[in-house]
Chain A
């Protein structure tokens, strides 16, 4: 957790404890929005496949939308990686290729799986050494302007 998010969480907790209905800072306001989004969107089955040599790694997770409206995943970032992109592996006959994905729609009362062989978060340029057993933080940005922060465990190359 970065000092900034730690501060935001601390502020949020304090806000909750003293019963303030107004968010005390801009940062906390955006996190408050994230928690609103979280009431509609939930993340599960998240993990990252570790690879040696600082190679690009893939992040996987499922996003469920319990709301009445479809929501698009528009982007992702991570304090642990310099660059995060949403990619899709597409089998074209016998050849596999990867394409960049601008948005991924999570239907109302639906779920999408960002899972091996399909969509994946391409995590590039790690900001510090990452090893199996660690966790990384990913911030997902959605079309309603809200963000959702999730923590993904890092598994071995074999996915265990």
Chain B
């Protein structure tokens, strides 16, 4: 039996030389210029982020949860889009709505660039935050770009651990209501699900818009 022919590196190099010989000088020059441009693009300073650059410091976006429409959803649903992940709960009247309102402002300010950006609101209170409640909640802020995600206690706990999100359910009061202490950070993933930036509740809509525009420009 004859072994299949596998192109070796040497073959490839020979072929490249052969092609190079036949290239007119002018084309050579433009190729060199192109290579230089590519190198300049690749070797230039990283963008002037206003948020915290956490590239490579956290795992890629990965989850298996339930969307606010009640169907199973994974990170694949966000592939190709920049995703702003925020952990919160709907019974939180101050910080969570303020953050969601800021993110909806960001979307408005992004204009045409907003079509490349999504908001994922992940509930850390899955017992009270049913898909239907989450649906009405995220739609109250941004029906076009926001998705509410919930899941089992274990799935939420694992995801929170993956991004070092601390949350703790408080003791229920006489009316059964309870608070949830939680991280107010916004995790920003690129279209390949890689973590890129982190924002806090101190970062303004303008700062977020600035960095998201850079991310969109880099991706397109």
Set of chain B residues within 8 Å of A22, measured between Cβ atoms:
none
B100 near A: Cβ within 8 Å?
yes
Q: Mark A97-137, 1 if CB is under 8 A from B, else 0.
A: 11000000000000000001100101111000000000000
* Chain A residues touching B, range: 20 to 34
Given contacts A156-B140, A157-B97, A158-B101, contact A124 B177 (CB under 8 A): yes
B91 touches A55 (CB 8 A): yes
A95 touches B93 (CB 8 A): no
A39 near B: Cβ within 8 Å?
no
Task: Tell me the minimal C-beta distance from B194 to chain A in angstroms.
Answer: 21
A83 near B: Cβ within 8 Å?
yes
A96 touches B184 (CB 8 A): yes
Q: Given B94, B136, B166, B181, which contacts A52 in the complex, CB threshold below 8 Å?
A: B136
B181 touches A95 (CB 8 A): yes
B95 near A: Cβ within 8 Å?
yes
Minimal Cβ-Cβ distance residue in B for A98: B179
Set of chain A residues within 8 Å of B179, measured between Cβ atoms:
97-98
A58 touches B93 (CB 8 A): yes
A53 near B: Cβ within 8 Å?
yes
Please report whether the interface of chain A is mostly helix, strand, loop or mixed according to DSSP. Answer: strand
Q: Given A56, A83, A91, which contacts B93 in the complex, CB threshold below 8 Å?
A: A56
The docked-state distance in angstroms from the alpha carbon of A84 to that of B101 is 23
B92 near A: Cβ within 8 Å?
yes
Minimal Cβ-Cβ distance residue in A for B177: A124
Task: Tell me the minimal C-beta distance from B220 to chain A in angstroms.
Answer: 27
The docked-state distance in angstroms from the alpha carbon of A2 to that of B56 is 59
Given contacts A95-B166, A97-B179, A98-B179, contact A53 B94 (CB under 8 A): no
B113 near A: Cβ within 8 Å?
no
A23 near B: Cβ within 8 Å?
no
A94 near B: Cβ within 8 Å?
yes
B90 near A: Cβ within 8 Å?
yes
Set of chain A residues within 8 Å of B141, measured between Cβ atoms:
157-158
B137 near A: Cβ within 8 Å?
yes
A51 near B: Cβ within 8 Å?
yes
B140 touches A95 (CB 8 A): no
Set of chain B residues within 8 Å of A98, measured between Cβ atoms:
92, 94-95, 179, 181
B90 touches A89 (CB 8 A): no
Task: Tell me the minimal C-beta distance from B215 to chain A in angstroms.
Answer: 22
Set of chain B residues within 8 Å of A123, measured between Cβ atoms:
93
Given contacts A83-B175, A95-B184, A157-B141, contact A58 B90 (CB under 8 A): no
The docked-state distance in angstroms from the alpha carbon of A120 to that of B96 is 13
A159 touches B101 (CB 8 A): yes
Set of chain A residues within 8 Å of B185, measured between Cβ atoms:
94
The docked-state distance in angstroms from the alpha carbon of A97 to that of B182 is 7
Q: A49-B93, A96-B95 known; 12 other A-B pairs, CB under 8 Å? A: A52-B140, A55-B91, A91-B184, A95-B166, A95-B182, A96-B201, A98-B94, A98-B95, A116-B94, A120-B94, A158-B100, A158-B140
A–B Cβ pairs within 8 angstroms, 17 of them: A52-B139, A53-B136, A53-B137, A58-B94, A83-B175, A87-B93, A89-B95, A92-B181, A95-B167, A96-B183, A97-B179, A98-B181, A116-B94, A116-B95, A123-B93, A157-B137, A159-B101
List the interface of chain B (C-beta within 8 A of A): 90-95, 97-98, 100-101, 104-105, 133, 136-137, 139-141, 166-167, 175, 177, 179, 181-185, 200-201
The 5 closest A-B pairs by CB, nearest first: A157-B140, A97-B181, A52-B136, A58-B93, A116-B98
